[in-house]
Structure 1
Amino acid sequence: MLAKTVRIVPQARAGIVERFGKYKGTLPAGLNIVVPFIDKVRYLIDLREQVVSFPPQPVITEDNLVVSIDTVIYFQVTDPVTATYEIANYIQAVEQLTMTTLRNIVGGMDLEQTLTSRDEINTGLRGVLDEATGKWGIRVNRVEIKGIDPPPSIKDAMEKQMRADRDKRALILTAEGQRQSAILTAEGNKQSAILNAEGDRESLILRAQADREAAILRAQGEGQAIQTVFQAIHDGQPDQSLLAYQYLQMMPKIAEGSANKVWVIPSEITKAMEGLGSSIHEIAGIPRDATPRTRVDMGASEPQLPRGSDDAETRATNEAVQEAIAAAERAARPGRTARSIDPAATATEPDPLSGPADPPAGSTDATGPGAPAGQ
């Protein structure tokens, strides 16, 4: 009797008590006292949220294709008395209601829309189930579609379609990539050609300007060189003997070279020799007192020995040379007016360009033995 009087109801449960087969009350969680043999706990209802997974059900789409759809429903009992006395098996009722509602919703969609509109199907199912199960004391929280399986033939066709679509996209992307590459390559070649042309133009302009300036500078240099040489010649007051001497100095260069087999002597060589001879004999030579009006700076010359050097050997040599020159002049002085002079005397006659002039009669010879070295 004690066991039938005291009833313990677990947490999140509700006990339906009947008295003589009629609803008496609802027992909450915890310790409860009932009348033994009169009151009876008929049902123990779970008030927690429950999850029910339904097996796949065949559904026909708008384009007459059969697909298998399996769903999951999350619901909770809000009124234990209504869930007990308004419907015999609320889980089965929810399952059948879900299948019928799902057929109605999917029947208005084609296969492509069915596969891509899961959120729309879930929302439609939840609205219909929540409205229908409210009078049963049940609240539907969520409805989820686990999977949609089309027939194998449709799967194969969809795979082929998807593969073809992917191939088309790949070809389009490849063509667009090649077009962009060709465009960029052409633009790069264009810019490169433009830059090369501009570089060539600037290079030609700069090269032409440099050639022009070089030609101008070269012409100016040649003009200044000719002017300098011409001025130096006029300042030096040259005569025919000097020109003849320069002409004779250039004669050996004509014979230079291993390919010269025959050497033709110009006819002007005799005139040059005559002029040079006349300069030696002072008939048509350079005047003694001819000096250039302008002295050209020829740079540093070789160092000269100081006057009055104490070197005995050098002084003796200079005295011997001066004595030889004086003896040659005394020997050649009696025959200066005749062209048929003794060859030996002519050979010893000093050169007016290098030796001193004859002193006048009755004067003292400056190149005598008593002259200092380097005089």
Structure 2
Amino acid sequence: MLASFTFIFLGLLFILLKLVLIVPMREVCVIERLGKFRAVLQPGLHFLIPFIDRVAYRHEIREQVLDIPAQSCISRDNIQIDVDGLVYIQVMDGAKASYGIEDYRRASINLAQTTMRSEIGKLKLSQTFSERDTLNETIVREIDKASDPWGIKVLRYEVRNITPSENVIHTLEKQMEAERQKRAEITLAQAEKESTINLSEGERQEAINLSEGDKQKQINEANGRAKEIAILAEATAQGINMIAAAAEQPGGNQAIKMRLMEQFIQQAGAILNSADVSVVPAELAKVEGFFAGVGEVTNTMQGGKKWI
């Protein structure tokens, strides 16, 4: 009796499990009735007809990340590189994902590889690094167009690594070294040019300063000489006026003559002492005539008056 009750309970429990279906929030279930597609059940509680309805497929409806293995590609400039990446997909239609393709994950990976090889072949090696965002967008657009009958949506694609071959890396290293050397030489040349310009500007400014200083020196010396000449002329004029005033006084004419005679004798003595040849006046009358001429000059400076 107990065994029969247990058997009946287990049978009812089995039928209940076949009758009730709980779909998790992250999945959708594809139901077949007698081998034919019936419906796609969304997350929640559902009832099935036991032994007639069955869950044929379960699909993850969250975003899925598929790793794209590295593959060899040839760029536009005939350089061999290895490229890998990541593709992000999401199931949008459970029925198409079940019956439109055998395995949408593997198909997405293969399609991403072929599309990536095709797009890499349109770009040069330098462009694969600088235009990675454009490359990702192009691959996403092409994969999404081809995968639409599979009921999936390609959200984005990311190129992860772009690795040139060893020979290419060695060649690129040499090229970068040459480029760095070139930039260094250009920098040194520019520095030398600027140094030469600065030196020439300094020499030019120095020459200008020296010429300006010499010019100012000459101006100052000329001004000094002019002032000196003016002072001497003024002093000479004052001396002449004083002599003329003294000559008008009583005995002034004789004093002037005596002064001139003393100066003549001093100058004659100096000449006789310094000359290698002795000089003796030939006619003493000429000396007397000289003093007479001096007297006439004195009378002229006094305004024509004669000393008696």
CA offset digits 1:201-229 (Å, max 9, x no partner) = 13311331232123312431453356457
Q: 2:79 aligned with 1:59, yes or no?
A: no
**What is the correspondence of 1:263-342 to structure 2 with a 5 Å cutoff?**
none
Q: Which one of the candidate residues 106, 120, 125 is aligned to 1:92?
A: 106
Show the counterpart of 2:5: none
Tell me the percent identity.
35
Q: Which one of the candidate residues 139, 164, 176 is aligned to 2:178?
A: 164
Q: 2:229 aligned with 1:215, yes or no?
A: yes
1:32 and 1:228, CA in 2 relative to 1: closer, same or farther beyond 3 A? farther
Secondary structure, aligned partner of 1:44: strand
Could you list the runs of 5+ residues in structure 2 that have no partner in the other structure? 1-14, 257-308
Show the counterpart of 1:105: 119
Show the counterpart of 2:96: 82
Q: Which residue identity does 2:25 align to in structure 1?
A: Q
Q: Which one of the candidate residues 121, 128, 135 is aligned to 1:121?
A: 135
Q: In proportion to residue count, which structure has more strand?
A: 2
Shift of 1:154: 1.5
Aligned residues: 243
Could you list the runs of 5+ residues in structure 1 that have no partner in the other structure? 244-375
1:235 and 1:136, CA in 2 relative to 1: closer, same or farther beyond 3 A? same
CA offset digits 1:153-178 (Å, max 9, x no partner) = 21111101110111012112211221
Show the counterpart of 1:224: 238
- Any conservation in 1 of the 2:75–2:81 contact (CA below 8 Å)? yes
* Superposition CA RMSD, Å: 2.8
1:210 and 1:241, CA in 2 relative to 1: closer, same or farther beyond 3 A? closer
**What is the correspondence of 1:170-249 to structure 2 with a 5 Å cutoff?**
170-224=184-238, 227-228=241-242, 231=245, 233=246
Shift of 1:9: 2.2
CA offset digits 1:328-361 (Å, max 9, x no partner) = xxxxxxxxxxxxxxxxxxxxxxxxxxxxxxxxxx
Q: 2:100 aligned with 1:47, yes or no?
A: no
Distance in 1, Cα, partners of 2:131 & 2:211 = 62
- Any conservation in 1 of the 2:247–2:253 contact (CA below 8 Å)? no
Could you tell me the TM-score, scaled by structure 1's length? 0.57
Q: Which residue identity does 1:129 align to in structure 2?
A: I
Show the counterpart of 2:165: 151
Provide runs of 4+ in structure 1 moved above 6 Å.
238-243
Show the counterpart of 1:313: none
1:4 and 1:201, CA in 2 relative to 1: closer, same or farther beyond 3 A? same
**Which of the pair has more CA radius of gyration?**
1
Shift of 1:82: 0.7
Q: Which has the higher contact order (CA 8 A, sep 6+)?
A: 2
